[in-house]
Amino acid sequence: MVARDKLNLLKDKFGPAILRADLPADDRLFVYIEPVVVRDVCRYMFGDMDARYIISIGADDRPFSGKFMVAHNFAFDPEKLLVSVLVHVPADNPKLDSISGVVPAANWAEREIRDMVGVEFEGHCYPKRLVLPDGWPDGVHPLRKDFAWNEVPKDFDDEREFKFDEPPAGCTVVPFGPFHPTLDEPAHFRLYVEGEMVRGCEYRGFMVHRGIEKLAESVLTYNDIPMMAERICGICGCVHNVAYAQAVESAAAIKPPPRAEYLRTVMLEIERLHSHLLWVGLACHIVGFDTLFMQSFRIREPIMWIAEKISGNRKTYGLCLIGGVRCDITPEMRTELRAVLDKLEAEWRPVVAAVLKDKNIQKRTRGIGVADKAACKRSGLIGPVARAAGVDIDCRRDHPYAVYDRVRFNVITDDGGDVWSRVVVRAKEVFEAIEIIRQCLDKMEPGPIQLDIKDELPIGRLGLSSVEAPRGESHHFVITGENNRPRRWRVRAPTYQNLQGVPAMIKDQQLADMTISLGSIDPCFSCTDRLETIDLKSGATKVWTQEELLKLVRAKKA
């Protein structure tokens, strides 16, 4: 048993500092440790045991254990094992050794826990605010249980500005965002430029943080959350929908019916198809190849139509409930989907052939935005970014879910580590997604699509779920709770890790290559939380604040 073997290695190394271990399945391991060894345990797992870092989670566990809790999650991909290292932190002195010095990929996660939960990480290399708004008062932590989901701190300062670092000597600051023609969502890269060369940058994001995790533990129920999870990302909504449902099912030891698992796989691969076709088109648009941009969108459209026919929506499918799915595929839909896949494959092959031979695209993308294997390990880079650097990882194979252990497919890799290799990986993955859907349609048997769950879900159970989104691994962590909702739900989208690799990708390259380097990770930031209206009669425009929108909505309800 792989999980027990890994646990024995940890026990041999750290002895009584390993307080407890739960092995709910062969592919899951939860290890509770003494706080004093957290840095050494994570160093040993990340370095000597060669685990891949996933994410760190903070939770206010005071109502239940009297302490805060921090979990550091790792993956042993070849062994198909997910591990969570859990530490309880005293409520009266919430401090813990930082692991960012030995696991650099944990930098953002620890900063976020500090912001949202209030655990201080001693020895962190860059303990600067990450998530909270500029005017948020110090010492107020919104993911603590005694902070209401709809509360606004009394000391919130609208005039307070975020303090950026000083640029290196001899560099000029060039702002990239927060609003930029090539960014669909707000994000701010403060570039330090010397002549035409980028020498460094500072990132400021999370401008429209929507508090989804807080809503989940405060007002939503288990089966409300899948619909909210879909709104996390405008492209990978089904991924988060499935990942959340699987995390709860893992915690509660629930297994959906086989047909439901096939349907989840089909819809996930439909989502991968439209995402990759979208990205290849946009990448070509960024480098000035608009002919392929238009071809990609033309080829993509029938996939959007068939998704709408199956689920009722082009994009947000509303697919999952705990224990199954909401929609089925009829025999007529199955026949139509096969025809759509046949046509897509026939049209995509010449497009890919044209792209792979195009010298102009290669000139704009080869050697640009490089992230090698070492960078992937150091920053926790995932998905096509990692596979383009020769890192052979894919959650569908390494941590199989739905029916990915019942279908055959190739994990596409390349070895350039640059934008060009990311183009190659995504373009070829389209063909693998088509084959996966075909196999599902062939193997899918009649049967129920939803379990009849009569009992309440168990309380205090932990669940992990990793799903391979088009951009890379989406990881969900759940602690089941009272009132038909989780105590804690943590979402780690792939962009969260891949963004941390961008500063190294753009360092010492031309400013003109910033856009395609950033675009090559297929970033998803969030939706903007401001609204502009235009008076059709006068032509006047108005930007609405959050307070004005709330007053408007409440007046309508009254």
Tell me if 144 sits within 8 A of 487, measured CB to CB: no
Specify if 405 maps to a domain. Answer: yes
For tokens 């759940």, what's the residue? 478
Among 123, 144, 161, which residue terminates a domain? 161
In a domain, 188, yes or no: no
91 found inside a domain: yes
* Concatenated DSSP letters of 321-389: ETTEES----HHHHHHHHHHHHHHHHHHHHHHHHHHH-HHHHHHHTTSS---HHHHHHHT--HHHHHTT
Tens-place pLDDT, residues 54-103: 999 999 999 999 999 999 999 999 999 999 999 999 999 999 999 999 99
Q: Do the strands 28-33 and 81-90 form a parallel or antiparallel pair, or are they unpaired?
A: parallel
CB 149 within 8 A of CB 219: yes
Same domain, 252 and 393: yes
Please tell me whether residues 143 and 238 are part of one structural domain: no
Q: Single out the residue in 118, 146, 161 at which a domain terminates.
A: 161
Determine the pLDDT at residue 139.
93
Confidence at residue 545, expressed as pLDDT on a 0 to 100 scale: 61
Q: Are residues 515 and 537 in the same domain?
A: no
Sign of CA dihedral 101, 34, 141, 241: positive
Q: Chain-wide mean pLDDT for the chain? A: 92
- DSSP for 167-180? PPTT-EEEEE-SS-
The verdict on 541 and 508 lying in the same domain is no
Strands 472-479 and 320-321: unpaired
Q: Which of 289, 205, 262 is nearest to 441 (CA)?
A: 262
Identify the CATH number of the domain in which residue 477 sits. 1.10.645.10
Report if residue 166 sits inside a domain.
Answer: no
For 429-443, how does the pLDDT look when each residue is reduced to its tens digit (9 = 90+)? 999 999 999 999 999
The secondary structure element, H or E, covering residue 250 is helix 237-252
Structure tokens given for 246: 């699987």
pLDDT in tens, 259-277: 999 999 999 999 999 999 9
pLDDT in tens, 12-35: 999 999 999 999 999 999 999 999
Strand partners of residue 266:
none
Same domain assignment for residues 509 and 535: no
Domain count for the chain? 3
Please check the confidence at residue 282 and state whether its pLDDT lies above 60. Answer: yes
Cβ 149 vs Cβ 214: under 8 Å: yes
Residues 139 and 218 in one domain: no
Q: What is d(CA 536, CA 236) in angstroms, rounded to the nearest whole number?
A: 34
**Pair 345, 396 in one domain:** yes
In whole angstroms, what is the distance from residue 40 CA to residue 344 CA? Answer: 51
Map residue 43 onto helix, strand or coil.
Answer: helix
Can you say whether the dihedral through the CA atoms of 61, 62, 65, 66 is positive or negative? positive
**492 located within any domain:** yes
What is the C-alpha to C-alpha distance for residues 317 and 400, in angstroms, rounded to an integer?
Answer: 22
Concatenating the DSSP letter of every residue in 387-422 gives HTTT----HHHHS--TTGGGS-------S--SHHHH
CATH of the domain at 81: 3.30.460.80
Q: Is residue 525 part of a domain?
A: no
pTM of the full predicted structure?
Answer: 0.92
What per-residue confidence (pLDDT) applies to 526?
52
pLDDT band, residue 531 (cuts 50/70/90): very low
pLDDT interval class at 183 (50, 70, 90): low
User: Based on the domain organization, do 261 and 398 belong to the same domain?
Assistant: yes
Q: What is the pLDDT of residues 107-141, one digit of tens each?
A: 999 999 999 999 999 999 999 999 988 889 999 99
pLDDT of residue 288: 85
Contact 470, 430 (CB under 8 A): no
Does 254 lie in the same domain as 235?
Answer: yes
Q: Is residue 349 one of the residues assigned to a domain?
A: yes
Do 435 and 337 fall into the same domain?
A: yes
Give the C-alpha separation, 129 to 143, whole Å.
15
Same domain for 221 and 321? yes
Q: Are strands 81-90 and 95-97 parallel, antiparallel or unpaired?
A: unpaired
Residue 171 is assigned to a structural domain of this protein: no
Q: Which domain holds residue 338?
A: 212-519
Q: What percent of the chain lies above the pLDDT cut of 90?
A: 78
| 543 and 491 belong to one structural domain | no
Whether 147 has a pLDDT exceeding 80, the answer reads yes
d(CA 241, CA 316) in angstroms, rounded, equals 9
